[in-house]
Chains A and B, each alone.
Chain A
Amino acid sequence: MQKISNVYSDEKLYKKLLEDKNITIEDALENEMVINMGPQHPATHGVLRLVLRLDGETIVKAIPELGYLHRGYEKMAENMSFVEFIPHTDRLDYTSTMCNNVAYVLAVEKLAGIEAPKRAQFIRMIMAELSRIAGHLIAIGTFAMDVGAITMVMWTFRERERIQEIFDRVAGARFTTSYTRIGGVASDVDDEALKMIKNFLDTFEPALKEMDDLMLHNRIFIERLEGIGILTKEDAIALGVTGPNLRACGVEYDVRRANPYLFYNEMDFQIPTYTEGDCLARYFLRGDEVRESVKILYQCLDKLPQGEVMANDPKKVLPHKTEIYSKMEELIHDFMIINKGINPPVGDSYFSVENPKGELGFYIVSNGEGQPWKMKIRSPSFCNLQTLPLVCKGQMISDVIAIIGSLDPVVGEADK
């Protein structure tokens, strides 16, 4: 007899699940069911555990439980230098990897007072927008697959493969790229890569139209999602929701407009907003955001300037590889930066960017050494998941899948 289960006790969770002032435990368990939508499930978008209390098929209470993917990022960040942490940021929101790289490097540059050259900023913007398209494609595809339309995931992944070929050409890896560095980007984009991006953008519009024709007038899809999982504006603001979930409720808040970084204040793009706040609005919003990203990319490709891709600050920014092998000073600087770190001044700073899932923020506290004293990652999926108990209440159990798909959590980010 294999003894496996019940190693971790769940008493506090069950007490919270069954709390209800007018009902006793025996009554509750006689008419209602407690169901575990466990960490391994086809449609929970990762290892998310939901414990549900059902009255027939209607949900009375839902409690999510996280921690199945807690890898200890914040503790590891205190033990490694700023440059060593860049590959770890890839694995936070693993559907849109370049966005996290850009966010982290911008946060460290704000703390240390370094400014990257203009060409590097434009390259970062191009990569972030391509990554945003890739992230939204996964969200749309897997959401449609959860609701029943399995073709969509094949089509969106086909488009995503083309973006990953571009990343392969530019950064050397198709998925977890670690492309940005403190002070710039790792290497320049050549003309072949720019041609590939232009080619992708030109042939992307017909593919989007094909996907829209399949889903947007499909009566089963619309009836399954309309009016489900409504999140009101006041609840969304009170619960700290950001990103597409907040914009689908009617609040026009986008960090690229509110607190512009890189060169977004020179780009001309709209911020799509819907007011219904249900699953269908969130689905339409992601499609609209992909179209806006395509517009931004066309403008970036036109305005891309020539120049350096790494800043020229020897004490803080890694020098160029060819110079390290031939000149003495660069060798010494490289040695000091890799071993001792970049040593930003004592203090703390918070910087946030607009990720496809919401607002990703890094709060870094430094005490003058090469390793941060504390790093807090404000991940959007953690904050968005907080709305699950409120939004699921009173819905049917099959709607829970649609709601989780439309909120689009990534558990690697929520669990850090």
Chain B
Amino acid sequence: MDTKEKIINSVKEKFGEAVVEISDFRNDLSITIAKDRLIDVAKFLKENPELQFVMCKDVTAIDWATRKNRFTTVYHIYSFKLNFTLRLKVNIEENPPAVESVVSIWPSAEWYERETFDMYGIEFLNHPDLRRMYMPESFEYHPLRKDFPLLGISGSMPLPEKME
């Protein structure tokens, strides 16, 4: 496709060595980048007048549980000019899982990164307000990791007592 080639060429031209993998599955383009160049690539994608990826639709993470790089953070960004949704992926290792926050570039990532932190335990550096999103603050685990059981750990959240 014309749009996809344009994006791939402009990213490869400027950041050739940061691109780890490019995949085109079911008509979706996804680019995997090295962890330390994330902010540069993101800034380029937003500010380049040809591309203009201004809206960040989603930030999430995948837990592979057995690979060497245990987590992968996934960003979905959209450009009104090209009418195209691009997927960026960054592989992170387990101890400790941390990656730069993209809030300075796309403000909508603030709550998405909080949710990812709550569910997976990935720490986002330079995030203005990294609190838990859904679970109470005193909860000690991260629910969406593969080693957390579906039924939960009993005693991790208190319940009021029954009266009679």
User: Does a CB–CB distance below 8 Å link A and B in the complex?
Assistant: yes
Q: Does B143 contact A (CB under 8 A)?
A: yes
Bound: A129/B143 CA distance, A? 36
Q: Does B26 contact A (CB under 8 A)?
A: yes
Q: Does B41 contact A (CB under 8 A)?
A: no
Closest to B58 in A: A378
Chain-B contact segment, one of A7-15, A167-175, A189-197, A400-408: A7-15
Bound: A76/B110 CA distance, A? 25
Interface size on A, residues (CB 8 A): 48
A220 contacts which chain B residues (CB < 8 A)? none
Mark interface residues in A380-400 (1 if CB within 8 Å of B CB, else 0).
001101100000000000000
Closest to B107 in A: A238
Q: Does B144 contact A (CB under 8 A)?
A: yes
Bound: A67/B136 CA distance, A? 8
Given B58, B62, B135, which contacts A365 in the complex, CB threshold below 8 Å?
A: B62
B136 contacts which chain A residues (CB < 8 A)? 8, 67
B23 contacts which chain A residues (CB < 8 A)? 347
Among A12, A111, A415, which residue has the most Cβ atoms of chain B within 10 A?
Answer: A12
Kindly provide the distance from the CB of A365 to the nearest chain B CB, expressed in whole angstroms. 6
Whether the Cβ atoms of A70 and B135 lie closer than 8 Å is yes
Q: When A4-B160, A350-B76, A350-B87 are in contact, do A66 and B62 touch as well, CB less than 8 Å?
A: no
Whether the Cβ atoms of A253 and B131 lie closer than 8 Å is no
Total A-B pairs in contact (CB under 8 Å)? 100
Q: When A240-B108, A359-B57, A361-B57 are in contact, do A349 and B26 touch as well, CB less than 8 Å?
A: yes
Given B74, B133, B150, which contacts A67 in the complex, CB threshold below 8 Å?
A: B133
Bound: A251/B134 CA distance, A? 31
Q: When A8-B136, A66-B134, A253-B80 are in contact, do A363 and B58 touch as well, CB less than 8 Å?
A: yes
Taking A237-B54, A238-B106, A240-B106 as given, write out 18 further A-B residue pairs in contact, using a Cβ cutoff of 8 Å, ordered by the A residue number: A9-B137, A12-B137, A70-B135, A74-B119, A76-B150, A79-B150, A238-B107, A240-B55, A253-B80, A347-B23, A348-B28, A348-B30, A352-B57, A359-B57, A361-B57, A374-B62, A376-B58, A386-B108
Q: List 7 A-B contacts (CB under 8 A).
A: A238-B106, A238-B107, A238-B108, A347-B23, A348-B28, A383-B108, A383-B111
* Interface of A toward B, CB cutoff 8 Å: 4, 7-13, 16, 66-67, 70, 72, 74-76, 79, 110-111, 113, 237-240, 242, 251, 253, 258-259, 347-350, 352, 359, 361, 363, 365, 373-374, 376, 378, 382-383, 385-386, 415-416
* Interface of B toward A, CB cutoff 8 Å: 23, 25-26, 28, 30, 54-58, 60, 62-63, 74, 76, 80, 83, 85, 87, 106-108, 110-111, 115, 119, 129, 131-138, 143-144, 148, 150, 158, 160
